[in-house]
Structure 1
Amino acid sequence: MINSTAYYNDFWNEMRGKQAVTDSLYNNRESKTNAYHLPGESNKKYTAVLQKESAVRQLATVVNATRSDSRLWTFDCEGQAEWGDMVNLEGMDNEDDFQRFEVQAYRLSELVRLGLEFASDQSFAIEDYVIGKMARCFGTSEEQAFINGTGENQPTGILHATDGAETGVTAESDSAISYDEIIKLYLSVDKKYRKHGTWLMNAETALALRTLKDSAGNYLWKESDETIFSKPVQIVDSMPSIGKGQKVIAFGDFSNYWLVQRFPLTIRTLKEKFAMRGQVGYLGCEYLDGKLIRKDAVKVLQMAAD
């Protein structure tokens, strides 16, 4: 139903305040939010913009679990290929290989406002406006939680003290990072995770690393392809800046961070609340969680505490 042209037209007419609720809208209303699911085509556009707004979304494993209960099982197995006519299943039925993680449905909401004259103007690209605003706002808030989330009413961040990445290196200084410390961080990650490793840091830390050289005068940072030790660097504003005790660089395989989408984005109009201002409001809500399921897959460099 949400993929039909009829629903697409009904949804965006509702966003423009042009008509009463139709059967197609009523049947696609989410009871948790009293809001409507995005049309299929609009959701594809929203997802594409959201992906661009969040480096963590680009690297993480995105899991849709809209119909499962609160417990999520993950399985880790060291696979091995063998030659021969017989299949060796020994050890593959070990229950200890499974890890159980509780997954919650944390609500994230965003309010976007638009002038009534634009909302009612058929020539105004309301879909692009609402989707673009929602994606940018949600992307910023999501990434902050995916990095620094407390696990209380929000996802558990990669830098969480107990459930996040392990500390691979503690810097000797609280204000500077050495070339050797970057090497140590790189090698602190198991080779199976280094293979698909990525560096995460904010722009200030990146600037500091760009000046580091080895004993032969070669720069640590390879500007031609924006890599360190041939691994890509992602600039994430939510990563802390260099300072006492801060975890300023993360390196590893971030596909082991699971972003679990519990309920997709829904939007409802708030007409009366902003009518006196000549505006209409759009309240967007999504439910999701995030966890690093393999804490040793990512290591961090932490600055000295004093």
Structure 2
Amino acid sequence: MRTTEIRQLRYFLTVAEELHFGRAAERLHIVQSAVSQQLRRLERELAVTLFERTTRTVRLTEAGRRLLPHAREVLAAESRARAAVADLRAGQDTTLRLGTSDGLGARLETVLAAFTRTAPAGAQIELVTGSTTDRLHRVRSGELDATLLRGDRSEPGLELLPLWQDELRAALPAGHELAVREVIDMAALAPLPLRLASRARNSALHDLVIRSCREAGFEPVLGAEFTTAQDTLAAVGYGRPSWTVFYEPHALQLPVPGVVFRPLRNPAPTMRAYLAVRPDPPRPALRALIEACHAA
């Protein structure tokens, strides 16, 4: 297949997973118009409509649903082919491909610093972002050596090495009456709408926050969905009163006018981080990464 066709399938798969053109563009690190343009070209070439688009929703058509498994198969084959060629070309390649996600904050910096101190001579890390599902798929296919992720789960064919635990911080308007408190009881947040990523986008965080609210004795009122950190914090700080959550390392790096970050208690929700790897004997660079993650 041509590079353009592969790109179109990758764009299609990303939009199909997100069901939102803006979030898909953010994941792909391109502008939204480029995603729309490539998908229109793909639809013209296939002579079908792949998505039903309205001002509020994006849905797969029947043609889109039928194309989805084939797109995944093609992109997986491309990833395996690239990995095989890369291994052949590099031989004793010392570049380690690590999947990461938003919100790691200083944790990631600590891991990279520890890796630099203990890694084999010449070893370096290439960081790769993407959805949790995408990163886990790339670890299985060999395109990534490992990926950092959060939340307990079962992943057949992969080994999940437990790492650190991060506390959650509530982000709320600096002018709200709760902002003067050093620590906030979860129950005190009950009247405020909660801006949270959907379960489809981040099931581990979504379930943890909802479960913590219920343990505090209330069912949260869900407000507008968490989109990007920048947009959501702007809405919390300057829109109608609401709240959201961030992992502590991320919150410490986000001084935002109009927003305060506060620890939570009763309960104090925490999230476990893991390093997902294949169960094969690790090469020296990967062993150094595992040691660096545990040191963090």
Task: Give the shorter-chain TM-score range.
Answer: under 0.3
TM-score normalised to the size of structure 1? 0.25
Structure with greater proportional strand content: 1
Structure with greater proportional helix content: 2
Larger CA Rg, structure 1 vs 2: 1
